[in-house]
């Protein structure tokens, strides 16, 4: 009998993604589902999808989910987690959601050190509404609301979420990854697993920023999009671990127990 080496994660429903070809959301969804399966937390996890392309995430994840209004995911997640501290709670957010309209909610949930996980999809553009400028849009990048390219004088600069959040005393684990190659996908999965494990261990706020291709709004092919992440985007948003306090937080926690 043939051994099954690849299958659909239990935490994903049997349906097709509505995401565009080459979009990073599909990969990120699958990785989150795989990690939930592997950690054995499908039955205790509650997810909070954002407003944006991933607004329909509850159609894909086969776990309990509560819709949040645009940007309010971390506040909603705070409510869930504080009411049910033994559940695993994550908020899935885009760049407009986290770094523009919901900056206050995200920043303060992080600063309070809420024991939740934030999955941050950074694709440098507003996807669902049709390619407008995001807080993470590159300088000179053309979007439908920066037709001449993002102008630093008028539009300010790309917001570096991982850099900013790693400075907050309340955060435990912050890493920026991408999903533009098999190797980077594997790395992203490791980061997600670490972030969820951090929460399971009660060690505090974790954030994984995923640089994610958006071929449709970048007006590129899928392959070119993956290349653009390497050549342009990751220059502005360098990959890597920005904060890993897991060991430091774990020690006193273990000493206490």
Partner 1 sequence: MNKVLMSGNNIIAEAAIRAGCRFYAGYPITPQNELTEYMAEHMRNVEGGVFVQSESEIAAIHMIIGASATGARVMTSSSSPGISLKQEGISSMAACELPGVIVNIMRGGPGLGNIRPAQGDYFQATRGGGHGDYRTIVYGPATCQELADLTMNAFDLADLYRTPVMILADGMMGQMMEPVVFKKPKPRQYSEKFMLRGAGQGKSKFFRGLILDAIDMEEHNWKLERKYQVIIKKETLHEEYKTEDAELVIVAYGTAARIAKGAIKRLRENGMKVGLFRPITLWPFPELKLRALSKKVKNYLVFELSTGQMLDDVRLALQGYAAIDFHGRPGGVVPTPAELANVIARHYETID
Residue 161 CB neighbour total at 10 angstroms: 27
Q: What are the tokens at 222? A: 């899928």
Q: What are the tokens at 93? A: 């957010």
In the bound state with partner 1, the residue whose beta carbon lies nearer, of 24 and 102, is 102
166 binding partner 1? (CB under 8 A): no
**Cα dihedral: 91, 194, 135, 61 (round 10):** -40
Nearest one of 54, 84, 51, 82 to 68, comparing CA atoms: 51
Site residues for partner 1, window 32-71 (CB under 8 A)? 42-46, 48, 55-56, 58, 61-69
253 binding partner 1? (CB under 8 A): no
78 binding partner 1? (CB under 8 A): yes
104 binding partner 1? (CB under 8 A): yes
Q: How far apart are CA 176 and CA 91, in angstroms?
A: 16
83 binding partner 1? (CB under 8 A): yes
199 binding partner 1? (CB under 8 A): no
For strands 88-94 and 45-48, give the pairing: parallel
In the bound state with partner 1, the residue whose beta carbon lies nearer, of 62 and 175, is 62
Which residues in this chain contact partner 1 in the complex, by CB under 8 A?
42-46, 48, 55-56, 58, 61-69, 72, 75-84, 87-88, 104-105, 107-108
């Amino acid at each position: 009998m043939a051994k099954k080496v690849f299958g659909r994660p239990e935490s994903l429903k049997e349906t097709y993604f509505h995401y565009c070809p080459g979009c990073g959301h599909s990969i990120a969804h699958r990785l989150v589902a795989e990690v939930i399966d592997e950690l054995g937390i499908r039955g205790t996890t509650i997810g909070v999808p954002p407003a944006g392309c991933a607004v329909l995430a509850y159609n894909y994840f086969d776990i309990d989910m509560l819709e949040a209004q645009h940007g309010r995911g971390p506040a909603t997640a705070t409510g869930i987690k504080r009411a049910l501290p033994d559940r695993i709670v994550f908020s899935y957010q885009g760049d407009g959601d986290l770094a523009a309209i919901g900056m206050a909610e995200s920043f303060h949930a992080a600063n309070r050190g809420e024991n939740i996980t934030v999955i941050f999809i950074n694709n440098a553009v507003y996807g669902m509404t049709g390619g407008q400028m995001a807080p993470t849009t590159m300088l000179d990048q053309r979007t439908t609301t920066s037709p001449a390219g993002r102008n630093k004088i008028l539009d300010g600069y790309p917001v570096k979420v991982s850099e900013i959040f790693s400075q907050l005393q309340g955060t435990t684990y912050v890493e920026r990854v991408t999903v533009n190659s098999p190797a980077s996908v594997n790395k992203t999965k490791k980061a997600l697993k670490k972030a969820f494990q951090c929460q399971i261990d009660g060690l505090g706020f974790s954030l994984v920023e995923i640089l994610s291709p958006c071929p449709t709004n970048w007006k590129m092919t899928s392959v070119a999009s993956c290349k653009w992440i390497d050549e342009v985007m990751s220059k502005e948003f360098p990959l890597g671990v920005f904060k890993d306090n897991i060991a430091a937080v774990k020690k006193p926690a273990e000493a206490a127990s």
